[in-house]
Structure formats: structure tokens, C-alpha cells
A and B are shown apart, each in its own frame.
Chain A
Amino acid sequence: MIRFYFCLTLFTLLSVPEKVLAHGANIQYRQTSAIAIQAKYDDGVPMKNAQVVVYAPSDRATPWLTGVTDDLGNFSFVPDADPENAGNWDVKVRQAGHGSITSIPINQSKLTNVSQTQTASVNAGYSTVQKAIMAGAVGWGFIGTALFFARSKSSK
């Protein structure tokens, strides 16, 4: 009797489907190079928890990756080394209607423009003096217009 039950148990255990036996897991790791971005507003405040969308050169209509920046405005991603994805990767960062798009040239997982390890999107880095000069120049244009039209009638 015991032998019968033993055989029955053995048979049941062995008839278990393969999938259940595959519940073990393993982790593989390797070193790779990533692109890190930092998004800030134009007054220097970082864009924390802003939406990020990355577009690959092979398909600019479909997002390749979406994510969120951290509390300091940082976000990083690993572009794939697919040859059709060599070119300009577009990264769009947006928060409450404000944001920007920047274009990053990448070839074989490396920045094509190696001389600049830190690139910035348009107009991100004017110093206060530069801004003051620009504002002064435009302001003087407006004031000059005002003065021109405010000439007294006799000097026409």
C-alpha cells in the first residue's frame, strides 16, 4: 500500500510542467555609457519631477523612452548602439506648460561632438551681464523710438 502511494506521489511530482521549475532568476550586469541631462528653468531653478520624452533618430514620431527628472532636474538614459540610431537624439523636457527640446548628436553610444562634454540647449547660459546688455540694447531701441516721436513740432 505504502509503495503504491509512494509511486503515485513520485509520478505527480514528476508530471509537473516545465514552467513551474523555471522560477529561479538571475541578474546580469555590464558597464555602459549613458547620456545624462539636467533641466533647469532660465532663472537657474532645476525642473524637478518634470516629464522627459526621448526620441531616437530612426523614428521621430514615436517616443523611444519616457521618464521623469529627479529633484535636481537630472535624467539619464542609455542610447542603443543600433546603427540606424546614430544621429541626433531629441530630448524634450516639459512641466506645466514650460520646457524645452534639445538635440544630442550621438554616434555609437558616444557624443559626436566630444570637445563639449557639457552641451546646453539654446540660450541656456547667458550671464547676468550679457542679459543686462541685451535688455539695455532693446530698451534703448524702444526709448529711442519714443523720443523720436516725442519731438516737438518745430523740429520736424
Chain B
Amino acid sequence: MHIPDGFLPPQVCLTGYALTGGLTWYSLNQIKKDPDIQANIPKASLLTAAFFVASLVSIPVPPTSVHLIFNGLMGAVLGYYAFPAILIGLFFQAVMFNHGGMSTLGVNAIIIGAPAIAGYHLFRQREHLQGKRQILTKALSFAAGAGALLISASMFAVLLITCISPDMDVHAERTAILLSLVGYSIQAVVEGLFSVMLISFLEQVKPELLKG
């Protein structure tokens, strides 16, 4: 769900850059308050590498094929480090593989990165909610993984539908976008399950990794 160059009007691209700039500044501020930056940067760096490589793997989901994004997982594990991490990952994807345009980098970062922060806050609720720790962790990691992707897909669809240039056949494009949402719903379930697996594994093996 990376938007390529030439599909959005310039005002939208500039707004995307402004919002990304603001959210990056806010994330960096939050990171500054972190007592243990030295330990969290390797975590963020490795997940960024995984995020970057995941876009090269395409899974055929009829009617189209999808690339795993796991922004919810990154948000849950990294917290506010996730937003700059996703921004950097997207930058490299755009530059090396033309996956998403450079003019739409800001917009793509908001579409993929903002739900990651939402996933983080959702996952953090396990400290505040009552219930068995294990079940709560599994449920909230699924919610973070699937929910973040669903929010991203909705933002992607809404943005594209409202910004279809009048050159295109609006009806056909709208139908195609709504169809792709079906594919993204399936991907949301896959990513939710993947998040559950990984976070359960980390919780068992190295729970201090999830404290951030």
C-alpha cells in the first residue's frame, strides 16, 4: 500500500510531509526521554531491516498479491522508535526499489507509521487491563497487528478514492480499490497472527525486550 509518484495532487503530498515532520519531531522527543536509548536502537535497527526486506516478499492473495508490512508489530515492540524506523524503511524502499514515490514519502509514512503508534498504545493497555497476562498479551498483540493494518488500509483507500484525478474512470478505480480492501482484510488477519506468534515468543524468551 505504498502510493507511487504522480497519483496524488501536490497539496496532499505537502500535507503528508508536514504531518510526517511533526510526528517525527514528536517521536524523537519521546525517544529522548527514554532512559535506555543504547539498548533500544539495535532493536529498532533490526526491525527496520526486517520491515525493508519484507516488502520484497510478495504473498499471492487473490485477487492481487500483498507484501507483509507488520507496522502494528513494530509499534508494539518498539514504541515511538517505530515511527522514525518506518520512515527510514520507506525511504530506502522508495529509493532502491521504487516501492512508493519520493514525493509521496510523507503520505506513505503517515499511512503506515501513524497506525504503528496506535498499535503501540493499544498493546500498552495490557499493563492497565485486568485479566490473565498471557491471554491479554496474545489478544492485544493480535489487535495491534491486525488493527494497525486495517487502519492503514482504510487511510490508503479513502485517500485514493478522494484523490482520483478526473482523467481516470472513477467508477472502475473505485471498484478496484474496494476490491483490494478485501485482500487487505485477509492480510490483516495474517499479520495479526504473525504478531501474536512473535510477541508470545519474545515474551517467553526475553520479556525485557517488550518493556519499551
Contacts and interface: CB of A to CB of B under 8 A. Distances in A.
Nearest to B1: A97
Interface string A70-98: 00000000000000000000001011111
B164 to A, nearest CB: 9
Mostly, the A contact residues are mixed
A68 B168 CA distance: 10
Contacts, number: 93
A96 B173 contact: yes
Contact of B167 (A63, A99, A139): A63
Nearest to A141: B49
Interface string A135-147: 1001100110111
Given A41-B65, A97-B160, A147-B42, A138 B92 contact: yes
A123 B98 contact: yes
B51 to A, nearest CB: 9
A20 interface: no
A149 B45 contact: yes
A43 interface: yes
Contact of A45 (B65, B99, B169): B65
Residue in A63, A66, A94, A101 with the greatest tally of chain B CB atoms within 10 Å: A94
Contacts of B179: 96
A143 B92 contact: no
B6 A146 contact: no
A97 B42 CA distance: 34
Residue in A122, A131, A145 with the greatest tally of chain B CB atoms within 10 Å: A145
B176 A95 contact: yes
Interface stretch (B52-60, B71-79, B130-138): B52-60
B156 interface: yes
Contacts of B64: 96
B92 A66 contact: no
B56 A131 contact: yes
Interface of B: 1, 3-7, 38-39, 41-43, 45-46, 48-49, 52-53, 56, 58, 64-65, 92, 96-99, 156-157, 160, 167-169, 172-173, 176-177, 179-180
Interface of A: 41-43, 45, 51, 53, 63, 66, 68, 92, 94-101, 122-123, 126, 131, 134-135, 138-139, 142-143, 145-147, 149-150
